[in-house]
Amino acid sequence: MELNEILGWVLLGLFSGLIAQRIMPGGERGGCLLTIGLGITGAFIGGWIARHVGYLPADPPGPNMPSLRSLLTATVGSVILLAAWKWLKR
């Protein structure tokens, strides 16, 4: 994996984490690293779910930046992760 691919996935994680925090606002003040971590983990969760229901192809996306479909699935995964986090914190 090249540096530009890693940077693309980190940016995807940042954007999906930010979108998830805007969709589900709350008292969490995590900062940029927590947002990126939430987004990247959400991207894995969303990608896994999307591949198993047939929404995303199983082959890797290649050296290009992640697609809009990847951003959508990463955001959905981040929202699921954030909801589970809030539920477990109670």
Domain ranges of the chain: 3-89
Which amino acid does the sequence have at 2? Answer: E
Structure confidence at residue 59 as a pLDDT band (50, 70, 90): low
Q: Structure pTM?
A: 0.73
Q: List own/partner pairs for 31-36 with CB under 8 A and 24 or more apart.
A: 36/10
Is residue 66 within 8 A of residue 12, CB to CB? The reply is yes
Mean pLDDT of 81-88: 81
Q: What is the rounded CA–CA span in Å between residue 25 and residue 89?
A: 15
Structure confidence at residue 74 as a pLDDT band (50, 70, 90): confident
Count of CB atoms situated within 10 Å of the CB of 53: 8
pLDDT tens string 5-37 = 677 777 887 888 888 878 877 666 666 677 777
